[in-house]
Amino acid sequence: MKQLIFLWTVAFAWAAGASVSLADNSVQFLIDHTPANGVLVLKNQVYKGDLVIKKPITIKGTQGTVIQGSGTGNVITIKAPYVRVENIAIKHGSLSMNSQEEYAGVKVTANHVVLKNLRITDCYHGVYLKNTHHNEVSHVTITGRGRNIVASQGNGIQLIHASHTRLVGNVIKKVRDGIAFDYSDYNKAEQNQISETRYGLHYMYSNDNAFLGNHFLNNNGGAAIMVSKRLQLRNNNFSFHDGSQAFGVLLKSAEEVSISDNHFYQNLRGIYIDDSVGNEIAKNEFLHNRVGVELWSSATHQTFTQNSFFKNTVPVMTVGGSVTNQWSKDGKGNHWGGEFPLLDANQDGIGDSPVQYTSALYKLIQENELTYLFLHSPAISIYEKMNQLFHQQSLMFEDEYPLIYQEKRLPLGMIGLALGMLFIGYVWMRRRRKI
C-alpha cells in the first residue's frame, strides 16, 4: 500500500512539474517520500540540489537529468548505507574555502554506496568520501576549472579514512589532484583517465592500495606516493608529464611498493625516488623520457629487473650515490637499448659483460633543477664529454646481468606459410601472363 501511495505521489509530482520552474522542483520531497530500498526515477529536467539522503534508496536519472546546487553547500550528501545514484549531471556546489567543511558535488559518509555514470562540474571536490567503507565510484566524469588555479579548487575524488573502495572507469581533468587518498587503505583504482591536474593520484599515509590499468596524461605529476606502504602499480600509462618538476611516478618515503608492467613515455622523469626503501620496479618500459629513473641518495634497497630503457636522454640519474640499489634479480637485469651494445656468445639472453653508465649531470641537477629543461641542449653533451675526458664522472648504475633485446619473431610455421603463399602467387602470375 505504501508503494502504491508513493507511485501516485511521484506521478502527481511529475505531472505538476512538467511546466514548473527550477525553483519549484523539490527532489528532496520525492526522496523523503521514497520508501527504503525503493527506486526513484527522475525526469529529463533540472532539479534543485543541496539534497540529503538518509535512507537506502536508488536514484536514477534519464538523459538530461540535472541536479543543480545553490552554490552554498554540497549538491548531494549521502548519510545512509546502500544508496545508489546514477545517470545524473551534478553541478554548482559551493567553492568556498572559508568553511571547515570541504564541499563536494557528492559527499559520502556511509558504507556500501554506489555512484555511477555521473557528470560533475563546478564543484570544489567532485566526490568526497570520509570514514566510509566498501563503496564504488564508477564511470563518473569530473571536470574542474583548470590546472592554473590549483590552490582554489579541490580534488576530483577525495578519500579520507576510506577503505575497500572501487574506483573504476572515471574520467577526471582540470582539478587539483585527480584522486587523493589520505589514511585510506585497501582501495583499488582501475581504468581511470586523469589529465591536466597537479597529481593524477596522490597517496598520503595510505597502505595496501592497488591502481591498475589507469591512464595519466599531461599532469604536473602522474602519481605521487608519499609515506605509504605496499602499493601495487600495474599496467598504467604515464605520458607527457614534462613541466620543470614533473614526473610519471614519485616515491617519497614509500616502502615495499611494486611498480610493474607500466609504460612511461615522454616524461621529464619516468620515476623519481627519494627517501624510500625496499621498492621493486619490474617489467616497465621507459621510452623517450628525459630521465628514465632518478634516484637520490636516500633511496635505498630499490630493485630494478626486466625493465626496458629505450631512447631516453638519460636512462638513470643517481644523485648523491647509493650502493644498496640492485639492478637485477634472480640473474635477470634490464634492457638498455641500442645505446649499450652487448654480446651474447652463449645465446642465453644475458649480456656477456655488465652494463655501466657514468655521468656528471647529477652535479648540475643538485645546483639547479632547471637543468632538466636543457637536457637536449648541445651544451649538456659538451659538459658530459668534458667530464668524461677529465674522469670526473660518477657511476650511475651497474647492471651485471643486462638483458639482450630480442625482437619478436614469427614462428617457423608462419614463415613457411608466408613463403608458400608467395610462391603460389608467383606461379599464378606467370600463368596469367602466358594466357
Contact 60, 82 (CB under 8 A): no
Element (H, E) at 412: helix 412-434
Q: How many CA atoms lie within 13 A of 283 on its CB side?
A: 7
Question: What pLDDT was estimated at residue 213?
Answer: 98
The predicted structure's pLDDT at residue 420: 61
Query: DSSP character for 374?
Result: G
pLDDT profile of the chain (435 residues), mean per 10: 43 38 68 97 96 98 96 98 99 89 96 99 98 99 85 93 99 98 98 97 98 97 98 98 93 98 97 97 97 93 97 89 87 91 85 80 65 67 62 75 71 54 60 58
Give me the residues paired with residue 160 across strands. Answer: 130, 182
Q: Which three cell numbers stand for residue 121?
A: 562540474
Distances (CA, A) of 334 to 148, 300, 388: 38, 19, 24
* Grid cell locating 40: 526513484
- Of 242, 293, 246, 287, the closest CA to residue 270 belongs to 293
Residue 120 main-chain phi, psi, to 5 deg = -115, 125
What pLDDT sits at residue 12? Answer: 39
The Cα–Cα gap between 49 and 75 comes to 5
Looking from the CA of 210 toward its CB, the CA atoms found within 13 Å total: 12
Q: Please tell me the distance from the alpha carbon of residue 95 to that of residue 152, in angstroms, as a whole number.
A: 8
How far apart CA 287 and CA 414 sit, in angstroms, is 30
Q: How far apart are CA 211 and CA 180, in angstroms?
A: 12
Please, what is the end-to-end C-alpha distance for the chain in angstroms?
Answer: 87
Find out whether 151 and 177 touch, Cβ atoms under 8 Å.
no
Q: Using CB atoms within 10 Å of the CB of residue 121, give its burial: 0 to 12 exposed, 13 to 18 middle, 19+ buried.
A: middle
User: What is the Cα–Cα distance from 123 to 121, expressed in whole angstroms?
Assistant: 6
pLDDT of residue 171: 99
The grid coordinates of residue 350 equal 644475458
Enumerate the domain spans of the chain: 25-412
Residue 175's pLDDT is 97
Q: Report DSSP letters for 413-431, one per residue.
A: HHHHHHHHHHHHHHHHHHH
Which grid coordinates are listed for 37?
Answer: 530500498
Q: CA nearest 225: which of 182, 266, 164?
A: 182
Give just the sign of the alpha carbon dihedral 139, 142, 148, 154: negative
| Res 320: pLDDT | 76
The superfamily in CATH containing domain 25-412 is Single-stranded right-handed beta-helix, Pectin lyase-like (2.160.20.10)
Please give the pLDDT value at position 360.
59
